[in-house]
Structure 1
């Protein structure tokens, strides 16, 4: 298609279509077509489809388990993965009450910032974690935010030893969460299940017996369906 064709199809002016095509060409999502002044899809478009297809099994597997976790705990339940330096939320089952979470499907958050990220980062060895930190500026959002490799390593080690993380105000004041790892058939951490919401949505007298127990059980159920045989 020519830039004019693209503009007409999308309802954009030619100048807007030109800027869009210029950007997508630079990102290799588009390439020049066989005919002069035309464009076609580039190979990188396949990455979008592959990323979706690669995650589809786990989102399908997790969906009923997350809904059940949400119903048992009364707070929002989520599934997330590590993508580059970010936590990417693949699934979100919002609480049926007013105690909803601001983390919805498609939300991205820097992994070093939030406890869910610390869970996902347990998949990395020390060298990989050091490289992860070296590639970014770690800016604190609360007093609990690790801002150095050493601090983040300690957070990740704590999660690895404990098998989950409970946070209260770690990411933002007035919010709490419980997060646990999901493992594949090799035992590698590939995702994270968590429940989160405002403090007012939690009964902290049931922290261990309900929120932590159910979150860990849900993560293990999903792991089992991915072929994980550990944690008997």
Structure 2
């Protein structure tokens, strides 16, 4: 029997790479129901030695396909899974759905609006809608900025516990970009918890002294923050009479995008809090 006459399954089996297959099977074990899994549990599910699973996890973690959670004991999918099909996944779930909302929000408030996701310690701009003004932003789709030092980044860190933040930022002192940048993980955690309780962030000159930002979280079906929606105001101040309306519109638009991602929002009676002097 010639090679061309071999059964298709037998031909395919010859070219399989066992290590790659195991790695992909490991990634497929994560789901909506099993967002985090331990190495022993993965070894049991895959029916392979724990030492093999630890090697697979170490490789996938280094490449960003998985990341540690719960103090380092469990694992969850990392941002590299999203990047594998970024043009499709990000565009369909965030950019494609979010762009019309960004454009409407921009028209309603008269300021440029952005949508960002977090990749490790950085935020990544995945969509933006700009106004036709003299203000020229250096931020484009794909731009990366430090999460801990930006208003949008603070929104994206809301779901992390203090131990998880310590894993993400193991250094004693955080890199400072302005006088507003938190200098330690504890300071960052306290700041983010206040943001979470408030339901949005409103602050001037946090990353750049001449720019003010209003941001709100976008959540998925599980309630996790998957993106941050923000409005960029090219001024260190906004008229007090405008604040309530802009904050409301940003929060409502972020909430609308969340609902399109199957999130069931909780009722909230949070009031607008002026943070310009905090």
TM-score range, shorter chain: 0.7 to 0.9
Question: In structure 2, what is the Cα distance between the partners aligned to 1:114 and 1:136?
Answer: 19
1:179–1:194 contact (8 Å) kept in structure 2: yes
Q: Which runs of 4+ in 1 moved over 6 A?
A: none
- Aligned pair partner of 2:100 in 64, 88, 113: 64
Matching residue of 2:253: 218
Question: In structure 2, what is the Cα distance between the partners aligned to 1:46 and 1:124?
Answer: 19
- Aligned pair partner of 1:145 in 181, 185, 195: 181
> TM-score w.r.t. structure 1 length?
0.75
Matching residue of 1:168: 204
| Equivalent pairs, count | 189
- Aligned pair partner of 1:155 in 174, 178, 191: 191
Larger Rg: 2
Secondary structure at the aligned position of 2:85 is classed as: helix
Shift of 1:163: 0.4
User: Over aligned residue pairs, what C-alpha RMSD do you find?
Assistant: 2.3
- Aligned pair partner of 1:208 in 220, 244, 247: 244
1:39-50 residue pairs with structure 2 within 5 A?
A: 48-50=83-85
- Aligned pair partner of 2:120 in 79, 84, 90: 84
Point out where structure 1 has 5 or more consecutive residues left out of the alignment.
1-26, 29-44
Secondary structure at the aligned position of 2:149 is classed as: coil
Question: In structure 2, what is the Cα distance between the partners aligned to 1:195 and 1:214?
Answer: 10
Secondary structure at the aligned position of 2:169 is classed as: helix
Shift of 1:154: 1.1
1:76–1:101 contact (8 Å) kept in structure 2: no
> TM-score w.r.t. structure 2 length?
0.63
Structure 1 residue 178 corresponds to structure 2 residue 211? no
Shift of 1:205: 2.4
